[in-house]
Amino acid sequence: MNPNEIIAIVIFIAVMVAIISEKIHRATAAVAGAVLLLVTQVLTVDTAMAHVDVSTIGVLVGMMLFVAVVKNSGLFEYIAIKSAKLTHGRPWAIMMVFAIITGLLSAFLDNVTTVLLVGPMTLAITSILKVNPVPFLLTQILASNMGGTATLIGDPPNIMIGSEAGLSFVDFITGTAPAVIVIMAVSIVCFYFMFGRKLHVEEKAMQEVMKLDENRAIKDKPLLIKSVVMIVLVVIGFIFHASLGLESCTVALLAAAIMMLIGKQDTEDVILGVEWSTIVFFIGLFVVVGGMEETGVIDQLAQLLMNLTNGNMVITMLIILWVSALVSSIIDNIPFVATLIPMILAIQAESGMDVTPLWWALSLGACLGGNGTLIGASANVVLSGISNKNGYPITFMSYLKVGFPMMLLSIVISMIYLLLRFA
């Protein structure tokens, strides 16, 4: 092992430890790691920047800007209140509908954005019903990570996979969405037996929900109409971007630009709506993983995996599925996926075989694995924080009792799906 390989490995491990420990902000850790690779001359500035996936960054920035404008219309609050009223205030029906809404929104929005929109409304409605909001919030955490798995733009790992593997929005709809639909359906049944049967509220409380006026949630009606039209166009754009010869990031950035022009919102406020710390984290992380790739460490890991599985695609697929799920339960799935992507590309280059099953295994494992623990995904941490601030603590252990079994169930379903499709 040459000195550059050792330096790249040490820096990578140090960054991972810093991210897992949460002693240092993940963006700070990633940037520090990237800078150390430049200082030690493992990478030049040009080679470092070449490893930054501009397409992934473009999709993230574009969708964040787009949502920052749309949320000012009151559209998401309107959907929440309207849905609650359609259930006639029945708590189990509200729980089910809100879980489905969270899953659907997470398929097209960032998971954190989704829970930030749905969470406060859930607390407001459960307060009227005089029921404990924790079961509602737990189902929404799980649903957000499930829904995010279904599409190209639903979860950052999918954006990264799609960009590097050349997979389109339609590819994800046909690749991961069928498994997610089954997982969601089975999960809702499980939610009923875990929580639904125990939910009882007074008729008076249900009537209070029916008195809510969804129209008052609309802050800007012209903006709401524009938002609905643009959301439809964005979805169409993502579906047909490959056939139009456009990158997914082009669609996202174009949608953001149009929304900012027609939305007539304060531009500075919209720009502040972007999670810039997340963007900086991604850039730093790409460089850190690029150090491993540039020095040949990734190729060696790929060769090791192929030797362990004797090049058997099905065994490799199942290993990636389960390892990514278990690892993503305890660490952020983004750095793990960033490490696995070049490894899968190396397997493809060395063996010449079709690695499509490995991409779906990585997507399903990494995204669904986030449900395993309270720290498995950013949405988990954010929504539990909202719950804690409102006097309803969600502890690590209380979440683990629900989240980890549900995660294992979703991975078993994913495994069956992958075996039926590729074995």
Which pLDDT value is given to residue 182?
Answer: 97
Sorted by where each begins, the domain ranges of the chain are 3-50+75-217+275-422
Q: Enumerate the H helices of 109-214 as residue ranges.
A: 111-129, 134-149, 156-165, 169-175, 177-194, 203-210
Query: 258 — phi, psi (to 5°)?
Result: -65, -45
Which pLDDT value is given to residue 395?
Answer: 87
The rounded Cα 139 to chain-centroid distance in angstroms is 16
Which pLDDT value is given to residue 315?
Answer: 93
Which pLDDT value is given to residue 108?
Answer: 86
Q: Cα(153)–Cα(95) distance, rounded to whole angstroms?
A: 25
Please give the DSSP secondary-structure letter assigned to residue 176.
Answer: T
Q: Cα(108)–Cα(236) distance, rounded to whole angstroms?
A: 12
Q: Which residues does the chain have with pLDDT short of 50?
A: none
Which pLDDT value is given to residue 339?
Answer: 86
CA within 13 Å, CB half, 297: 24
Helix (H, G, I), strand (E, B) or coil at 393: coil
Which pLDDT value is given to residue 333?
Answer: 81
Q: Cα(145)–Cα(380) distance, rounded to whole angstroms?
A: 9
Query: 352 — phi, psi (to 5°)?
Result: 75, 5
Which pLDDT value is given to residue 244?
Answer: 83
Query: Exposed (0-12), middle (13-18) or buried (19+): which is 193, by Cβ within 10 Å?
Result: exposed
Query: 354 — phi, psi (to 5°)?
Result: -70, 115
**pTM for the whole structure:** 0.84
Which pLDDT value is given to residue 149?
Answer: 95
Q: Which residue has the tokens 């280059």?
A: 349
Q: Single out the residue of 366, 373, 364, 381 nearest to residue 421, CA to CA.
A: 364
